[in-house]
Amino acid sequence: QVQLAEAGGGSVQAGGSLRLSCAASGYTGSSYCVGWFRRVSGTQREGVAAIGVNGIPTYADSVKGRFTISRDAANDDLYLQMTNLQPEDSGMYYCAAELTTCRPERWLLWSGFQTTHWGRGTQVTVSS
């Protein structure tokens, strides 16, 4: 059974940084996409960053140059380093894994698939 548990959310001022982590279990390194999504209050869930089977990261335009996704190959744990945070980055951040054939760009654009596994989320609040 796939289990994803996020940690590291919190409250920061604009310009600050946070590092999210995701403890993953229940699947092997054969997963096709792992990544981060977020839901900003009043909006739909959106893709933030993902890594596909080739190991190359993909980012939403809104976070390019500020966020860095990484993965621990030894245990499949996932991380999201967020810098220069802005109030519009506030929201619930979710770790996700897709075990079917997955193109990260499409997975992010479609806000995940019906087969995507989700964590419970961690709240990020950025004040101006």
The structure tokens listed for 99 are: 């075990």
% pLDDT > 90, the chain:
80
| CA within 13 Å, CB half, 68 | 7
What pLDDT does 30 receive? 60
Measure Cα distances from 39 to 47, 95, 116 in Å. 9, 12, 16
Tell me the one-letter amino acid at 22.
C
The structure tokens listed for 74 are: 């030894």
**Which residues are 35's β-sheet partners?**
50, 96
The predicted-structure confidence for 79-116, as pLDDT tens digits, reads as follows 999 999 999 999 999 999 999 989 999 999 999 999 99
In this predicted model, which residue has the larger pLDDT, 65 or 30? Answer: 65
Segment 36-60 shows an average pLDDT of 93
Cα gap 77→4, rounded to integer Å: 9
